[in-house]
Amino acid sequence: MLITLRDKKTIRWQLLLTVQKQTIITMMKNSRRDFLQKLAASAMTMPVLSSYGAFSKLDLYPPSYQGPTLRVALMGLGGYASRVAAAMQDCKRAKITGLISGTPSKIKDWRAKYDIPEKNCYNYENFDNVKDNPDIDAVYVITPNALHHEHVIRVAQAGKHAICEKPMAINAKEGQDMVDACAKANVKLLVGYRMHFEPKTLEVVRMRTEGELGNIKFFQGLCGFRIGDPNQWRLDKALAGGGALMDIGIYAINGARYMVGEEPVWVTAQETKTDNVKFKEGVDETILFQLGFPSGALASCLSTYNMNYLDRFFLNGENGFAELQPSTGYGPIKGRTNKGELSQPHITHQTLQMDEMAGIILDDNKPIVPVDGLEGLKDLKIIDAIYQACATGNRQELQL
């Protein structure tokens, strides 16, 4: 049987609807009042409410969606931007309307591929001129980590919303500047935390939030891969801001927070390095870190550029557990809990992310797990503290 593009879109919509239905059915079963009463009954679960709020609906759009779309310029046409651009072809609410690159040949190729008019294309010297371009609502910054600070601040000053890749910046001081610049310009700042919209991840968050796992005791996050080319920007402190922790370990930091549902209050960390040539001063190869949460829950995490097959989250509660493996790769994510296999559908992460981010920017929707600049800033504060803990050997107190 021949499956047309239209059929595929309808199937995808039905899958999305299934996720939404599951969320709604669960919400109906546990009415909001019951849910809030349960939360209020337990002081330990209060951080769930303050950190993540009550569940909002998943914002999903039918194939026939005709409403407003978020018009996005992509900045930094490298590997990840290529993935985002391809995924955005299936978006209902977000579309690519502009390009920012320092390489004219890339602009030429991307213009042809994505049908972008020349007047919506910029380079790193003149992209401030997006302020006069009514075809662009937001700029998605997908450049090396150390450039996010300058790029996001210039986007904000041009009066456009900023979506910024992770890590939002290379330290909390820079992150705070970006949050302040966006607040001053009255534009939104969102971080490209695609896992915050991923259906299996959200099912575990739902189970934990609704008490199905009981009081959370422990989280384990293992994040890493063996990095190749020693000359890439990821191994250059000036552009990367650090090493594996900035790039991949951040998933364990962020995951610990949304899986446990609390903000950590302390961190300890230990660093090891087996290759001082590839991993120069300030570029971490492997870091183990531990987080302590107000309830007494603990997290134990590994961040590395020196091991493959390392993409696992494990959450342990008094009444159950959840395991995701792979947990943060491009998917499909796989997972199981004490109740069985997770069966939520795989949806291309960046398609879902950009449709959801359009809803956040255009309709002020509140995501189940936040993706705003303050969320990015909290992760940067933890990163700063982990590096400090490695350098001093001392436990660092956290105030997020």
Query: Should residue 225 be labelled a site residue for ligand NAD when binding is judged by CB under 6 A?
Result: no
Contacts of 109 (CB under 8 A, 6+ apart): none
CA dihedral 70, 76, 81, 82 (to 10 degrees): 120
Q: Is 80 a catalytic residue?
A: no
13 binds ligand NAD (CB under 6 A): no
Taking each helix axis as running N to C, give the angle between helix 199-209 and helix 250-260, from 0 to 180 degrees, rounded to the nearest 10.
40
189 binds ligand NAD (CB under 6 A): no
Q: Report which residue type is found at 273.
A: K
Q: State yes or no: residue 142 binds ligand NAD (CB under 6 A).
A: yes
Asked if 243 touches ligand NAD (CB under 6 A), the answer is: no
Q: Is 194 in the site for ligand NAD (CB under 6 A)?
A: yes
Q: Estimate to the nearest angstrom the gap between the alpha carbon of 308 and the chain centroid.
A: 21
Contact call for residue 255 and ligand NAD (CB under 6 A): no
102 makes contact with ligand NAD (CB under 6 A): yes
Six token digits for residue 50: 């303050």
Of 29-37, 49-57, 144-152, 359-367, which part binds ligand NAD (CB under 6 A)?
Answer: 144-152
Q: How many other CB atoms are found less than 10 A from the CB of residue 341?
A: 9
Selected binder of ligand NAD within 12, 149, 154, 166 (CB under 6 A): 166
Is 144 or 373 the residue whose CB approaches ligand NAD more closely? 144
Nearer to ligand NAD, 65 or 233 (CB): 233
Residue with the shortest CB distance to ligand NAD: 78
Of residues 318 through 377, those in contact with ligand NAD by CB under 6 A are none
Max Cα-Cα span within the chain: 64
| Closest-CA residue to 217 (of 184, 247, 169, 259) | 259
In the structure encoding, which two tokens stand for residue 219, read together? 């989280």
DSSP-derived pairing of the beta strands 298-304 and 266-272: unpaired
Residue in this structure with the two tokens 């959370």, named with its chain if needed: 216
166 in catalytic set: yes
Active site residues: 166, 251
Binding site for ligand NAD (CB under 6 A): 76-81, 102, 142-145, 147, 165-166, 192, 194, 233, 239, 247
